[in-house]
């Protein structure tokens, strides 16, 4: 699943929450309090920082050690410097009654003053949630509802909005040519090739042994016939079917696909299967070491839905507030009947990879159906259909910059650079664990218990599937640091506004988007998202001739 990252402040200040200013003051965690991005709290004598906005009565910092994946919790341990409550930031306007820290979840009336980044701001007019003082553009300050408070302001009246800009024509052929040019680099084309999909009508015709099955499916059948599938997963939930697994493989032709550069496709496929199945064992396994009939490495796929959760459950696993970019880009569906009608649906873990959160269901839906809404409306499909395996293959072939995809780690497309090597990120099974759950399982002085499980399962799976484990490849991830922007895998995969000043253009604006490493609602891997980006950030753009 996709690991969430935070969007840099953009012109769309009304939608996205800025994270540019973080307080270094620590407070004791209180479950009934909302915390904005960057809040640092003390919990059980440890410090934690909020990776994104945390609602009251949701996940506590204890979840860091409870969740299967680091992105399943808004908290992470904090090891930076902190300060206790102290005197304020120095001379400046004294906060008046009602002043307090800026809260990204609140509405503000004109004239309200807030403290942000140790400075005092005043609302010039009505402010929606997510419209942060950090988003003030020095070149266009009138576009922000906030301004610095100097203490000599008179009564605040909402000013007239700036006049609308004249319409600008951007033809679709030109927009698509710009998109194609920016995606033409070798590294981007490798990624696009690895995430390509087969149409669903063809996928659903795949059955075991069919002569017309795609070549990657036939390769998997040769390595893993149905009898082997039955042997490896005797305790699986009935929803996990061999036919469904083959259909999931068919959906993503790069998985166990062909190579035209001399790489051994069969060997890569065997290693890919052993790797994927080992992670299944940790994520969905029975973990019964006392079972005398079936060893732990063959106890995978016991769970198709997260333990103790079922359809109709509400609360958690969704960043549904449209003031947050996740809620704007991947709007949560609501229950339409029953006692909880009107509440948001729950995007808890489903499938072999336990896909979680609306911001992961949406991109997976886009990959499978060409739209983000199908699985946001019907998340149960990830448990009840061949998507229970397809979600895992999707996660396997998709990169999460600055992380590479697991496929590119295994097939050698990802080549560690000096920064990767310095942080002990090398080709090998241990790096796939780092990709999945590095924040919890990796980086310590000794191997984490969960990582040890994965290593054992992988060794047994590789032996059974005749997958070679080269000498020297790291199988664990102790001492392995998380991926950073210095990694060779740090590819820019999202679109954001191009802030360039263009002399003579309407408003001096570029009317273009550019690639960014920060996650936004507009993906370079989704066809035509570039033109959506341009029209979003520049509302006066029309694709119809004037």
The terminus-to-terminus CA distance of the chain in angstroms comes to: 43
Which DSSP state fits 184?
Answer: -
Supply 74's token pair. 């808004």
Q: Which residues of 7-29 are buried (b: 16+ CB within 10 A; e: fewer)?
A: bbbbbbbbbbbbbebebeebeeb
Give the integer Cα–Cα distance in Å for 455 and 275.
9
Please check whether residue 281 is in contact with residue 453, taking contact to mean a CB–CB distance below 8 angstroms. yes
Q: Based on the residue annotation, tell me whether 283 is a catalytic residue of this protein.
A: yes
C-alpha closest to that of 426 among 373, 379, 466, 481: 481
Candidate list 283, 306, 441, 447, residue with the active-site label: 283
Return the percent helix, strand and coil in the chain, to nearest 5. 30, 10, 60
Q: Which residues of 373-407 are buried (b: 16+ CB within 10 A; e: fewer)?
A: ebbbbebbbbbebbbbbbbbbbbbbbbbbbbbbbb
CA 397 to chain CA mean position, Å:
14
Supply 238's token pair. 């009935």
Give the integer Cα–Cα distance in Å for 221 and 215.
10
Count CA atoms within 13 Å of residue 73 on its CB side: 21
> Residue 446: exposed, middle, or buried by beta-carbon count in 10 A (0-12, 13-18, 19+)?
exposed
Per DSSP, which regions of 335-414 are E strands? none
Which DSSP state fits 71?
Answer: G
Give the integer Cα–Cα distance in Å for 370 and 422.
40
DSSP string for 258-324: --SSS--HHHHHHHHHHHHHHHHHHHH----TT-SSS-GGG-----SB-TT--TT--SSS----TTS
Give the integer Cα–Cα distance in Å for 379 and 358.
9
CA 528 to chain CA mean position, Å:
20
Per DSSP, which regions of 14-62 are E strands? 26-28, 40-43, 46-50
Give the integer Cα–Cα distance in Å for 496 and 85.
37
Residues β-bridged to residue 334: 344
Supply 503's token pair. 């002399």
Catalytic residues: 283
């Amino acid at each position: 699943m996709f690991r969430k990252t935070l969007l840099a402040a953009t012109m769309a200040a009304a939608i996205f929450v800025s994270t540019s200013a973080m307080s270094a003051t620590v407070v004791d965690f209180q479950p009934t309090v909302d915390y904005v991005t960057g809040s640092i709290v003390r919990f059980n004598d440890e410090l934690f920082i909020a990776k994104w906005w945390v609602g009251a009565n949701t996940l506590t910092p204890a979840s860091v050690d409870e969740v299967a994946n680091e992105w399943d919790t808004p908290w992470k341990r904090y090891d930076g410097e902190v300060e206790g409550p102290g005197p304020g930031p120095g001379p400046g306007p004294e906060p008046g009654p009602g002043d307090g820290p800026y809260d990204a979840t609140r509405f503000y009336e004109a004239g309200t003053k807030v403290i942000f980044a140790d400075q005092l701001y005043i609302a010039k007019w009505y402010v929606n949630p997510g419209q942060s003082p950090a988003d003030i553009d020095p070149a266009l300050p009138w576009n922000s509802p906030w301004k610095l408070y100097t203490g000599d302001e008179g009564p605040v009246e909402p000013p007239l909005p700036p006049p609308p800009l004249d319409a600008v024509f951007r033809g679709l052929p030109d927009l698509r040519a710009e998109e194609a040019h920016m995606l033409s680099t070798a590294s981007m084309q490798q990624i696009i090739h690895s995430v390509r999909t087969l149409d669903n009508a063809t996928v659903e015709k795949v059955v075991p042994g069919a002569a017309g099955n795609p070549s990657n499916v036939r390769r998997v059948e040769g390595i893993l016939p149905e009898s082997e599938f039955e042997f490896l997963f005797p305790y699986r939930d009935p929803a996990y079917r061999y036919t469904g697994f083959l259909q999931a493989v068919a959906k993503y032709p790069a998985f166990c696909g062909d190579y035209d550069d001399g790489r051994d496709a069969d060997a890569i496929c065997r290693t890919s299967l052993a790797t994927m199945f080992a992670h299944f064992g940790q994520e969905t396994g029975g973990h019964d070491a006392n079972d005398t009939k079936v060893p732990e490495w063959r106890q995978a796929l016991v769970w198709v839905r997260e333990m103790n959760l079922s359809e109709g459950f509400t609360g958690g696993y969704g960043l549904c507030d449209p003031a947050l970019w996740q809620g704007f880009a991947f709007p949560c569906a609501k229950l339409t009947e029953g006692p909880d009608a009107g509440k948001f649906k729950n995007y808890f873990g489903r499938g072999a990879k336990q896909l979680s959160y609306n911001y992961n269901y949406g991109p997976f839906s886009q990959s499978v159906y060409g739209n983000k809404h199908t699985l946001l409306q019907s998340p149960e499909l990830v448990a009840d259909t061949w998507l229970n395996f397809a979600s895992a293959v999707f996660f396997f072939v998709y990169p999460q910059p600055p992380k590479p995809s697991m496929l590119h780690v295994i097939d050698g497309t990802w080549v560690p650079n000096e920064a990767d090597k310095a942080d002990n990120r090398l080709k090998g099974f241990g790096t796939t664990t780092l990709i999945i759950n590095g924040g919890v399982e990796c980086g310590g002085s000794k191997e984490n218990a969960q990582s040890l499980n994965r290593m054992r399962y992988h060794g047994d799976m590789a032996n059974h599937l005749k997958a070679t484990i080269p000498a020297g490849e790291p199988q664990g991830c102790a001492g392995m640091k998380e991926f950073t922007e210095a990694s060779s895998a740090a590819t820019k995969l999202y679109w954001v506004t191009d802030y360039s000043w263009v002399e003579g253009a309407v408003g001096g604006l570029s009317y273009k988007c550019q690639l960014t490493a920060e996650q936004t609602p507009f993906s370079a891997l989704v066809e035509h998202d570039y033109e959506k980006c341009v029209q979003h950030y520049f509302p006066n753009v029309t694709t119809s001739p004037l």
